[in-house]
Structure 1
């Protein structure tokens, strides 16, 4: 964590108890309103009592750490610059030196039976442990998205079928221990292309742009047992700008390596996302053009200076 960046006070971090979504209608409505406020003000919240067991999360992080500990020649089997490749390993060098700020592995995770056979088989429990986490976090994502849709005044099942059948990508990252004086970022500032991203991390390191405080950078404190939920570009589009995709970045730790798993949920690759017609009227005209995940991937190759979400604004 960057010692120069202030840490969000716990009162500034919205924490949702997922079990309360299953209580009486009044309790659920209060939780849904809390989610609405968090998505509007911060583009970010965290969840507890989410049903993904500690054993499942620890095993997934453990298998990921073991994968990154493998000799480089066993990891570069998956090395590729092809962003469409269903399993892809990569590194980010530091100033052309023989050091990296981040190693990652991206894997397609739905339908899991179609892809799991191509996932790393070393360590031996990688597929089993990652598979369990993948299925649990997909279930959780759909549950959270039901509440998010409801918070927009839409049906909890809005786009449910598309989201169930949509693109689910898991990205495992490791950020090597790094001197605090180096000012190296593990990942530079960006927004995610997704509907939502759910983040599991071994330790704190996530920093978000605080829209409520002159877009200042703030470190997100570690809260044991929670998962972070980030608003992505396509949720911003779907909400017609009511919710903002959160700018975020990662700083490595001076104490030890940091491992994280990002779960990225989107609509099917070529399905278009546009503002929900229920959220468009004379006072709130359509603010974004329709786009797809496939279009986003093509955008990455354009070298366009403006961000993807800015390119979608009408």
Structure 2
């Protein structure tokens, strides 16, 4: 039964607690965005005021040839400035990416009760969680997004516990992307004069999570956000955008007149978006910048995005690499147990890059 949209408790119960999600709201015949989803004016996304992104995707096949140095420089430059870049010839089959999008639509197209079995608190596995918004219990304005999150431990667990509608294709996406992530991480640290062996790289990307995000059609997209302003907490995020797009990144280190402005990242067929997370900024002693980003909604068609988050295990001790502290003459961040950073990150609403305050000295 659809909720009373004028009753906040009724709407919260229907969308969040019963697992109908935003899609359930839209399917009930929603004509206008409920008040709980209307963002303050300063958080809304003005598409007409965004800068276009005019950088060509980086061709990763060049890392294995004569242009290695040139490609490595382009990757490092992007990580030092924008905190993100797009890549092609990344080793993830294009047919797999298409199957991934289709499987995401397949999962979210199910009846609500099929998805609700994975709700927090009732999910049959701690590796799978279905939900909506970010931390809906704490947010003043909710995000226009449903999601399913799948934690990777090993192949056997993934095939046993992840949802049948997407487990095989999501696992293949994760495995092929991990090879690319290792290569990029190695390039980034070599650029800083630090050589990481494979066990050390494996340790800093040991925790891997695949999310499937679903942004239903929104009747008033100018009033909402799909995801609010935030940076990711890990090392690198690999993101598949569908053909609709909607990702915006905040400019920090560009021309002064653009600083603090937003740039729209176009959807490029066959490309993946890579963005720097907080942990890479900390390990690099501030040389690489995590990207503050957000996502808009659309009134024309529902869309999906599928990120892979890579980060250390919660028990890992994190801080600037000693080699970089010695070179820089100071540590810009303190050491901490990564699990404490995770708890801090998910214990608050999205607030841009304030998550990094936790690591400040």
Find the partner of 1:210 among 230, 233, 251: 251
Q: Tell me the distance in 1 between the aligned counterparts of 2:185 and 2:327.
A: 27
Distance in 2, matches of 1:181 and 1:236, equals: 32
Deviation at 1:182, TM superposition (A): 3.5
| Equivalent residue, structure 2, for 1:107 | 150
Does residue 256 of structure 1 match 2:297?
Answer: no
Q: In structure 2, how many angstroms separate the alpha carbons of the residues matched to 1:259 and 1:22? A: 32
TM-score (norm 1): 0.88
Cα distance per residue 1:228-249 (max 9 Å; x no partner): 0110000000000011111000
Counterpart among 19, 27, 42 of residue 61 in structure 2: 19
2-structure distance, mates of 1:82, 1:205: 32
Tell me what 1:311 maps to. Answer: 358
Distance of aligned partners of 1:193 and 1:300 in 2 relative to their CA distance in 1, 3 Å threshold: closer
**More moved, 284-293 vs 303-312:** 303-312
Query: Counterpart of 1:79?
Result: 119
Aligned residue in 2 for 1:293: 338
Q: Distance in 1 between matches of 2:122 and 2:112?
A: 19
Larger Rg: 2
Shift of 1:114: 2.6
Please give the TM-score of this superposition, normalised by the length of structure 2: 0.77
CA contact (8 A) 1:196 1:266 kept: yes
For the aligned residues, what is the CA RMSD? 2.5
Task: Give the length in aligned residue pairs.
Answer: 302
Q: Does 1:51 align with 2:86?
A: no
Counterpart CA distance in 1 for 2:348 and 2:144 is 22
Q: Determine helix, strand or coil for the equivalent of 1:198.
A: strand
Residue aligning to 2:287 = 242
- C-alpha separation between the residues in 1 aligned to 2:245 and 2:347? 33
- Residue-by-residue CA offset, 1:26-69 (whole Å, 9 max, x unaligned): x2112111111111111111111111111111111111110000
Where do 5+ consecutive residues of structure 2 fail to align? 1-44
CA contact (8 A) 2:214 2:305 kept: yes
Whether 1:139 aligns to 2:179 is yes
Q: 286-295 vs 58-67, which deviates more?
A: 286-295
Q: 8 Å contact 1:231–1:245 — kept in the other structure? A: yes
- Structure 1: 5+ residue stretches without partners: none
> After the TM superposition, which of the residue ranges 299-308 and 272-281 deviates more from structure 2?
299-308
Aligned 1:254-293 pairs, distance under 5 A: 254-281=299-326, 283-293=328-338
C-alpha distance in 2, partners of 1:215/1:145? 27
Q: In structure 1, what is the Cα distance between the partners aligned to 2:193 and 2:347?
A: 36
CA distance in 1: counterparts of 2:127 and 2:313, whole angstroms? 14
Deviation, structure 1 residue 81: 5.9
